[in-house]
Copies of this chain bind each other. A is one copy, B any other.
Amino acid sequence: MVSGLMANSALGHGYLTGLLDADVTGPSIGRMYGINTPAMGNEEGLIFPAIAANELRIMTANMLLDDEEKAVMWRGIMINNAIKEFYSKVLWSDLDLLFIDMPPGTGDVPLTVYQSIPIHGIVVVTTPQDLVGMIVAKAIDMAHQMKIPILGIVENMSYMETPNKEIVYPFGKGKLDAYAAKHELDVLAKLPIDATLTQAADQGTFAKVTHPLIDEAMLLLLKKLDLLEIDE
């Protein structure tokens, strides 16, 4: 969901953007964007990405299934090959930015992404209930070992506003700021829980969704990546 918001935001900032769903056995991107047609290829065996309503270019494992409720029961090596092909055999053409959505953990998928795709950095997505930083710490440890720059952290499900405008912390107040300061990491955004986002994802209308906190974070990211035009 955070990668979708970021990709939407990059589009909004004027960049031709793609989103590669590397969560091959738990793909959610297609459903979120209402993509329900199979992937088409050309004569050379290259695959056309799907194009969402907001022009986002998308590749997800569900585009290889005739029924989105079918399980992708693949071993690591098949998953890894799929990820490599989603990068190298998809006609991303003249993208400015490609976001890669990865499942949690430090296993096969991030190893494959880090080793086989030239990436400029990662955004770590966490939640306040991630066992006070241990799970984040593992992701950060992996990135350091693989020499991948960490562009920043986004905390999801940070808080929520109740119908009568009360701010509550369903998972307790995160300790992200202290953690980030200690490890010299930038907190890019703290996103509230927002049922409208969940509903848009459910209904396949995520292409319509933007979030001011992510738009702000994206400006910072674009600056870090030296992609920001001077007149912006």
On whether A166 and B169 interact (CB within 8 A), knowing A111-B75, A201-B129, the answer reads no
Centre residue among A24, A129, A163 by max chain B CB count within 10 A: A129
Interface hits, A41-93 → B, CB 8 Å? 68-77, 79-80
A169–B194 Cα gap in the complex (Å)? 10
A108 in complex: contacting residue of B32, B79, B134, B139, CB < 8 Å: B79
Which residue of chain B has the shortest Cβ distance to A127 in the bound complex?
A: B198
A128–B24 Cα gap in the complex (Å)? 21
A198 in complex: contacting residue of B80, B129, B145, CB < 8 Å: B129
Query: Which chain B positions have C-beta within 8 A of A123?
Result: none
Query: Which chain B positions have C-beta within 8 A of A128?
Result: 198
Contact indicator B106/A108 (Cβ below 8 Å): no
A209 interfacial contact with B, CB 8 Å: no
A25 in complex: contacting residue of B77, B107, B145, CB < 8 Å: B107
Interface hits, A165-200 → B, CB 8 Å? 166, 168-172, 193, 195, 198-199
Centre residue among A79, A132, A146 by max chain B CB count within 10 A: A132
Interface hits, A117-171 → B, CB 8 Å? 128-129, 131-135, 137-139, 141-142, 145-146, 160, 162-164, 166, 168-171
Query: Which chain B positions have C-beta within 8 A of A32?
Result: 131
Query: Which chain B positions have C-beta within 8 A of A142?
Result: 71, 73
Interface size on A, residues (CB 8 A): 57
Which residue of chain B has the shortest Cβ distance to A114 in the bound complex?
A: B73
Closest chain-B Cβ to A147's Cβ sits at a distance in Å of 13
Contact indicator B31/A131 (Cβ below 8 Å): yes
Contact indicator A70/B24 (Cβ below 8 Å): no
Closest chain-B Cβ to A30's Cβ sits at a distance in Å of 9
A28 interfacial contact with B, CB 8 Å: yes
A42–B93 Cα gap in the complex (Å)? 57
Which residue of chain B has the shortest Cβ distance to A109 in the bound complex?
A: B107
Q: Please list 6 pairs of residues, one from A and one from B, whose beta carbons are closer than 8 Å in the complex, sorted by A's number.
A: A26-B135, A28-B131, A28-B135, A31-B131, A160-B168, A160-B170
10 extra interface residue pairs, beta carbon distance < 8 Å, beyond A25-B108, A68-B134: A28-B131, A28-B135, A31-B131, A32-B131, A71-B142, A72-B107, A72-B138, A129-B198, A131-B202, A160-B168
